[in-house]
Amino acid sequence: MFTKVKLFFALVAEDAKALGRERLSMPFCLMALLGLNRFSAVFLHRVEAALFLKGFPLTAFSRLASRWNGLWNSCEISPLAKIGPGFCLPHPTGVVIGTILAGKNLTVLQNATIALKDRGLASDDFRNFPSFGDNVVVGAGAAVLGDIVISDGAVIGSNAVVIIDVPAGCLAVGNPARVIAPRSKAPSRKLSVLA
């Protein structure tokens, strides 16, 4: 049990580093749990995901964390989403994330939607949702829909509607999105937050 707790806090510490916080402290985590800082959306998602499939009393707390996240941060993230360390939501308002698989350092900006393409599909099956590699940035207002792969270092432009695979290091823009040639270098973490 203690190993799982250590793993949970190691994951949360990596998420905090994505927002520029080098150390976790109890007051910082408490403020995040209460929705009083911009790390709270990611922290509440991690709590929700850790408790979701653990049996009745803990699943109830998971649902409570989900509702709290929706109330305070105006975002909805599936507890079944498997998101690697370094997850960053600089402005979580309006973000909707379904049952996705994502690598390290996923950055999602405000009002982005990552979800199913068709309503009739199972919402708890990873095969119906997008998959993300490492160091991916999803711009403000973007929609990434369906069973597609967004490869390492890809950037989804603001208000793009992506329904096709995006190769590594490429930029996807427009509605419907088109893939722009690979960029010369991957964005730094600080630039991706400002994108």
Structural contact between residues 109 and 138, judged by C-beta atoms closer than 8 angstroms? yes
Structural contact between residues 104 and 83, judged by C-beta atoms closer than 8 angstroms? no
Q: Give the position of tokens 């309503």.
A: 119
Q: Confidence class of residue 169 from pLDDT cuts 50, 70 and 90?
A: very high
Judged against a pLDDT cut of 90, whether residue 1 lies above it is answered with no
Query: How large is the average pLDDT for residues 145-173?
Result: 94
Peptide bond into 182 cis (omega under 30): no
Query: How large is the average pLDDT for residues 103-127?
Result: 82
pTM of the model: 0.83
Residue 25 has what pLDDT?
75
Residue 195 has what pLDDT?
44
Query: How large is the average pLDDT for residues 165-173?
Result: 94
Judged against a pLDDT cut of 60, whether residue 43 lies above it is answered with yes
Q: Which of 124-133, 142-151, 169-178 has the lowest mean pLDDT?
A: 124-133
Domain 2-194 has CATH 2.160.10.10: yes
Between these two residues, 169 and 122, which has the higher pLDDT value?
Answer: 169
Would you list the domain boundaries of the chain?
A: 2-194
Judged against a pLDDT cut of 50, whether residue 191 lies above it is answered with no
Residue 122 has what pLDDT?
61
Rounded Cα gap, residues 3 and 103, in angstroms: 22
Checking DSSP bridges between strand 76-77 and strand 101-102, what pairing results, if any?
unpaired
Q: Which two tokens stand for residue 18?
A: 């994505």
Strand-pairing partners, residue 101, are 82, 131
